[in-house]
Chains A and B, each alone.
Chain A
Amino acid sequence: MRTILEFSFECIITEPCSAGIAAPTPDLEIIEDLELDAAWNVVVHNDPVNLMSYVTKVFIKVFEHSLAQAERHMMEVHTLGRSILWSGERERAELYVQQLHSFLLLATLERSV
């Protein structure tokens, strides 16, 4: 699972050095904004109509899975009702969901907890 860290730094020099005086060590005030952007899951839900062989081929096509990986996820969908196919940043997760919808799979985007 991937986590995105966003940092921003602001440096304020409070005592600027002047000529002839040994340069003091500047005091640095560091304001740190740290935000953890939660990962997003691409979830595929069970569908009573889509063929198992079709779903397996879609996973291979979209996620470049091996046959074994694709079949494991397909069986998870079939037996448990859902499977998390991918986790990561939202933009890419949306692209995966769009691709899965283009293959008529029931896929949703969920914030990872």
Chain B
Amino acid sequence: MSRKLTLHAKDPSTLVLSGLDDFLCSLLREVPESGFAHPDADARLFPSPTAGRDPEADQEWREFVRPDLEEQFAWNRNRVADDLLSLRFEAHRGAALDIPMENLPAWIHALNQARLCLSAQFKLGDEEGEEEGSDAHPAPEGVAVFQMQFYGLLQEWFLAASDTL
């Protein structure tokens, strides 16, 4: 049975993502882990501020700025992990997830983080997102392409629903 994935307001402070099947639920549960810096994604998540032109400044950045960024990224992933605890099965409607409006920025950032990590890990670019229905990628790259598209769709929906980042 096909279900329609929808995002709607439960009340002024809560959104509900519903119509999730088991596969989409498993992808959602992977958001916090996908955004955890994979070795291949480290340079992308923590780029050098001078692109190597000023090694001293880059080193100071690694010492003093990177820890703050790591903390912010972890905070976003933790908010998402907490919200995922509300994932529940609804008869005839698939699974549903409550997302507090105040956590939307954390979701947007965590999804972005996950997409960047997947892209770096599987060497995927934006052209991958346009290959709808393509079978050019064998698994697990093919799953990663779908995962990036799904996360991108959610990010677009959350951006539209959120006034701020």
**Is B159 touching A54 in the complex (CB atoms < 8 A)?**
yes
Cross-chain contact B165 with A98 (CB below 8 angstroms): no
Within 8 A of A (CB), among B35-94: 44-51, 53, 57, 65, 68-69, 72
Contacting residues of chain A (22-77) with chain B, CB-CB under 8 angstroms: 48-51, 53-54, 57-58, 61
Q: Which residues of A contact B34 (CB under 8 A)?
A: none
B147 within 8 A of partner (CB): no
Q: Footprint of B on A, CB under 8 Å?
A: 48-51, 53-54, 57-58, 61, 94, 97-98, 101-104, 106-110
Interface size in chain B (residues, C-beta < 8 A): 32
A50 and B129 alpha carbons, distance in the complex (Å): 12
Interface flag for B22 (CB, 8 Å): no
Please determine whether A53 and B69 come into contact, CB atoms closer than 8 angstroms: no
Stretch from B9-17, B24-32, B95-103, B107-115 that touches the partner: B107-115
- For residue A51, which residues in chain B have a CB less than 8 angstroms away from its CB? 112, 152, 155-156, 159
A109 near B49: Cβ-Cβ < 8 Å: yes
Q: Are A48 and B165 in contact (CB under 8 A)?
A: no
* Residues on A with beta carbons closer than 8 Å to the beta carbon of B156: 51, 53
Chain B's closest residue to A58 (CB) is B165
4 new A-B contacts at CB < 8 Å, known A101-B69, A107-B49: A49-B125, A51-B152, A53-B159, A101-B46
Query: What are 7 sample pairs from A and B whose C-beta atoms fall under 8 A apart?
Result: A48-B127, A51-B112, A101-B49, A101-B65, A102-B68, A108-B51, A110-B53
Of B46, B53, B109, B115, which contacts A49 at CB under 8 A?
Answer: B115
Q: Which of A94, A98, A103, A109 contacts B109 (CB 8 A)?
A: A103
Q: What are the 4 tightest A-B residue pairs by CB atom distance, in nearest-first order?
A: A48-B126, A48-B125, A49-B119, A61-B165
With A48-B126, A104-B109 known as contacts, the answer to whether A57 contacts B165 (CB < 8 A) is: yes
Residues of A contacting B108 with CB < 8 Å?
Answer: 54
B116 at interface (Cβ–Cβ under 8 A)?
yes
Nearest-neighbour CB distance to chain A for B80, whole angstroms, equals 15
Which chain A positions have C-beta within 8 A of B125?
48-49
